[in-house]
Structure 1
């Protein structure tokens, strides 16, 4: 199993499920076009992908509205950590640094 060193775009619930089935830990950023905070966090997510073994995915839930309901996305950016396809952590507090996101991933992992 290969670790990806950059965020992977996913457009549908099926694509996200396939990615989660292939990788034990997936951090999904839900974003929307035109969101300045979402754009500013993109390079941070690239850093997280390179600095950890978690696979980072980016998803605009407007391409598959079932994702909004499934993950309860109420604001963007929302980061959801999936382990074996199940949500184990959520971060929806606006812009986050690389260190803050890595800490979030490690904390959620230790709670598992």
Structure 2
């Protein structure tokens, strides 16, 4: 993955969530896609499990890329973004954090949030 066209910004949006491993990886993914919805979650978190099908649907059906960050495996990354409870959703636009939402959200709410930045 050395010299691919990293400067290309019209990258095809993935239809499945990208699992993030560390801050550098998150920044790389945020820079690669115009809009990135990032789900900070934990395997032991009931509300996170409730949100998972919604996150997967948004990955498949919207123009936003979707990333998942396991807070137990990425404690420093979660702390760097001030994540204190899960699920926490961060929306990145053009590589910068634009929105932060804590708690389970409905698909319609998240879809309209994404559409504010993708239309």
Q: TM-score w.r.t. structure 2 length? A: 0.83
Unaligned runs of 5+ in 2: 1-10
* Cα distance in 1 for residues equivalent to 2:12 and 2:23: 22
Offset at residue 27 of structure 1 (A):
0.5
1:101 and 2:110 are equivalent in the alignment:
yes
More helix by share: 1
* Cα distance in 1 for residues equivalent to 2:76 and 2:95: 16
Tell me, yes or no, if the aligned pair for 1:11 and 1:61 is still in contact at 8 Å: no
Aligned length: 108
Runs of 4+ in structure 1 deviating by more than 6 angstroms, as ranges, are none
Tell me, yes or no, if the aligned pair for 1:24 and 1:85 is still in contact at 8 Å: yes
Tell me, yes or no, if the aligned pair for 1:41 and 1:95 is still in contact at 8 Å: yes
Q: Secondary structure at the match of 1:48?
A: helix
> For the aligned residues, what is the CA RMSD?
1.5
Larger Rg: 2
Tell me, yes or no, if the aligned pair for 1:7 and 1:56 is still in contact at 8 Å: yes
Unaligned runs of 5+ in 1: none
Offset at residue 106 of structure 1 (A):
2.8
Residue number in structure 1 paired with 2:81 = 71
Offset at residue 49 of structure 1 (A):
1.1
Residue number in structure 2 paired with 1:36 = 46
* Cα distance in 1 for residues equivalent to 2:74 and 2:18: 16
Residue number in structure 2 paired with 1:4 = 14
